[in-house]
């Protein structure tokens, strides 16, 4: 048996050349059937070996009664069968030389004593044979690069856009179908629900993602940590290479109790976690909205060189809350240089202050898009400005084309990080604008405060990188 620390490479889980699927192959409702269907639908091009004692084929593919019937080597397995059957399946896989098993089945340790007994058997098999296990009690993982996924449910109707954000969690909520606000979802590289963590834990996953060239940002939801020291070492490895954002709910006593009941684990001391997260240089997230929204700034934009923000609005009242949020996020409100103030005043007398309220000039300008572009470019050119949160109003369809054109033109004029808030009345228009701006590498948020918070997170990571804060 290899030591735990040497076994951190999870590539067979995410990048298997071949996979065995254990689960009912009954057409329609069978979970094994669902997995095969989803693998094909997501374009997984590796070999798929359905395994079932009751069926000889599924979706036109041969099914096997055991993996040992398969002549070729098999790298990974996915299991969704009743708990009493799982240990012998994993044994069978180990004998066959399978490297990585994801156990989707529920009703193990989280369900009580009997399930706990089966889970303990899994732990022993993993220790003895060296086979690695993710789960049980998980929706498992998703790799956007090769379309490999372990989710058997029919909820998966649509491929999530491929990107560079890795989402890890200790809940099935972060399944591949669960990103809220649908098409506005952050493009992902990998997703992984660790489930009951009978073998592979958060430290293993962090080590893998630290090395993963497809992943530029790691976002992790944890309820408990199995080995504090290993976790901190792995987290530091990630932070040295890419930002690590951590959501750990259960701050309140009642929340801690809910954790205990959900993942059959002790929540541990909130203060200990908070200190550890800070010490490794990770950025702590406060809620699920931040979990989904914050990473985009890192996915698309360069890091800011300082903390001085420019805020551009179309209504002064919004600017004030953005200022409050900026201060609370560790940003400072940039003071424009005299030359910037002069250029802005030339455009419109009352434009020289930060936040910049473009409302008055845009409502009277003959060419509001040119004005908006010039103001944004001038502000970001200022040596006293490190980043900007920008509001764009796209109230109706006809505004889309000129604003997209402005964004295209702006892309060549600015190099500092920006975060956008695009608002208006028609959801269809906003969705299309969201797509258009993110296609241009401009992260887009649901409100200006969240855009500002994201820039604050980018500044924090930038400081951690440069001063080892």
Q: Which residues within the stretch 36-55 sit at the binding site for a copy of itself (CB under 8 A)?
A: none
Taking the least distance from each CB to a copy of itself, the nearer of 21 and 174 is 174
Taking the least distance from each CB to a copy of itself, the nearer of 182 and 302 is 182
Least distance (Å) between residue 124 CB and a copy of itself: 25
Least distance (Å) between residue 250 CB and a copy of itself: 5
Least distance (Å) between residue 86 CB and a copy of itself: 16
Taking the least distance from each CB to a copy of itself, the nearer of 374 and 447 is 447
Binding a copy of itself by CB under 8 A: which of 35, 430, 454, 457? 430
Taking the least distance from each CB to a copy of itself, the nearer of 111 and 233 is 111
Asked whether 175 and 229 are in contact (CB, 8 A), the reply is no
- Residue 369 buriedness (CB in 10 A; 0-12 / 13-18 / 19+): middle
Show contacts with a copy of itself in window 111-140 (CB under 8 A). Answer: 111
Could you say whether residue 432 binds a copy of itself (CB under 8 A)? no
Could you say whether residue 262 binds a copy of itself (CB under 8 A)? yes
Least distance (Å) between residue 422 CB and a copy of itself: 9
Taking the least distance from each CB to a copy of itself, the nearer of 76 and 168 is 168
Binding a copy of itself by CB under 8 A: which of 40, 70, 240, 258? 258
Binding a copy of itself by CB under 8 A: which of 126, 378, 429, 464? 429
Least distance (Å) between residue 403 CB and a copy of itself: 13
Taking the least distance from each CB to a copy of itself, the nearer of 97 and 180 is 180
Show contacts with a copy of itself in window 443-462 (CB under 8 A). Answer: 446-450
Least distance (Å) between residue 420 CB and a copy of itself: 13
Show contacts with a copy of itself in window 307-366 (CB under 8 A). Answer: 313-321, 323-328, 332-333, 349-350, 353, 355, 357, 359-360, 363
What track of x and - describes contact with a copy of itself for positions 270 through 299 (by CB under 8 A)? -----------------xxx----------
Show contacts with a copy of itself in window 176-235 (CB under 8 A). Answer: 177-185, 221, 223
Could you say whether residue 169 binds a copy of itself (CB under 8 A)? yes
Q: How far is CA 162 from CA 190, 238, 365, in A?
A: 9, 21, 40
CA distance 308 to 386: 5
> Which tokens sit at 328?
């609370």
Placement of tokens 């033109």 in the chain: 409
Least distance (Å) between residue 391 CB and a copy of itself: 9
Taking the least distance from each CB to a copy of itself, the nearer of 50 and 172 is 172
**Binding residues for a copy of itself, total number by CB under 8 A:** 83
CA distance 410 to 377: 7
Could you say whether residue 389 binds a copy of itself (CB under 8 A)? no
Least distance (Å) between residue 258 CB and a copy of itself: 5
Asked whether 322 and 314 are in contact (CB, 8 A), the reply is no
The residues near 379 (Cβ < 8 Å, ≥ 6 apart) are 310, 312, 336, 340, 344, 354, 356, 385, 388
Could you say whether residue 30 binds a copy of itself (CB under 8 A)? no
Per CB under 8 A, which region of 38-46, 118-126, 209-217, 255-263 contacts a copy of itself? 255-263
Taking the least distance from each CB to a copy of itself, the nearer of 254 and 338 is 254
Least distance (Å) between residue 6 CB and a copy of itself: 30
Binding a copy of itself by CB under 8 A: which of 81, 164, 171, 437? 171
Binding a copy of itself by CB under 8 A: which of 46, 87, 187, 255? 255
Show contacts with a copy of itself in window 398-417 (CB under 8 A). Answer: none
- Residue 197 buriedness (CB in 10 A; 0-12 / 13-18 / 19+): buried
Q: Please state, as a whole number, how many other Cβ atoms lie within 10 Å of the Cβ of residue 345.
A: 12
What track of x and - describes contact with a copy of itself for positions 49 through 88 (by CB under 8 A)? ----------------------------------------
Least distance (Å) between residue 436 CB and a copy of itself: 15
């Amino acid at each position: 048996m290899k030591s735990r620390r040497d076994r951190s490479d999870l590539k067979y889980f995410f990048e298997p050349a071949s996979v065995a699927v254990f689960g009912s192959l009954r057409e329609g409702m069978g979970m094994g059937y669902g997995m095969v269907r989803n693998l094909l639908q997501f374009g997984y091009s590796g070999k798929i070996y359905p395994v079932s004692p009751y069926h000889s084929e599924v979706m036109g593919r041969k099914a096997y009664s055991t993996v040992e019937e398969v002549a070729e080597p098999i790298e990974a397995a996915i299991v969704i069968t009743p708990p009493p059957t799982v240990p012998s399946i994993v044994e069978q896989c180990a004998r066959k030389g399978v490297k990585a098993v994801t156990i989707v089945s529920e009703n193990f340790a989280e369900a009580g004593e009997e399930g706990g007994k089966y889970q303990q058997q899994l732990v022993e098999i993993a220790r003895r044979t060296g086979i690695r296990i993710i789960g049980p009690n998980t929706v498992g993982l998703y790799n956007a690069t090769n379309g490999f996924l372990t989710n058997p449910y029919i909820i998966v109707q649509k491929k999530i856009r491929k990107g560079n954000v890795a989402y890890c969690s200790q809940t099935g909520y972060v399944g591949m179908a669960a990103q809220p606000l649908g098409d506005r979802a952050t493009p992902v590289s990998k997703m992984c629900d660790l489930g009951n963590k009978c073998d592979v834990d958060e430290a293993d996953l962090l080590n893998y993602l630290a090395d993963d060239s497809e992943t530029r940002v790691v976002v992790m939801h944890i309820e408990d940590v199995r080995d504090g020291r290993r976790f901190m070492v792995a987290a530091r490895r990630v932070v040295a290479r890419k930002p690590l954002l951590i959501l750990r709910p259960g701050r309140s006593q009642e929340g801690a109790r809910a954790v205990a009941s959900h993942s059959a684990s002790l929540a541990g001391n909130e203060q200990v976690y908070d200190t550890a997260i800070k010490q490794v240089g990770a950025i702590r997230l406060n809620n699920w909205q931040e979990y989904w929204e914050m990473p985009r700034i890192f996915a698309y934009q360069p890091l800011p060189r300082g903390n001085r923000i420019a805020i551009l609005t179309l209504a002064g009242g919004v600017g004030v809350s953005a200022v409050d949020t900026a201060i609370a996020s560790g940003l400072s409100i940039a003071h424009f240089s005299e030359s910037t103030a002069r250029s802005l005043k030339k455009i419109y007398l009352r434009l020289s202050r930060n936040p910049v309220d473009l409302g008055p000039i845009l409502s009277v300008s003959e060419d509001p898009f040119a004005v908006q572009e010039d103001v944004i470019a001038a502000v970001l050119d200022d040596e006293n400005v490190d980043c900007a949160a920008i509001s764009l109003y796209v109230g109706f369809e006809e505004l889309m084309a000129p604003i997209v054109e402005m964004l295209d033109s702006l892309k060549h004029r600015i190099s500092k990080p920006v975060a956008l808030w695009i608002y208006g009345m028609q959801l269809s228009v906003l969705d299309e604008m969201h797509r258009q701006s993110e296609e241009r590498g401009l992260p887009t948020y649901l409100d200006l405060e969240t855009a500002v918070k994201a820039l604050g997170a980018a500044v924090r990571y930038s400081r951690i990188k440069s001063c080892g804060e």
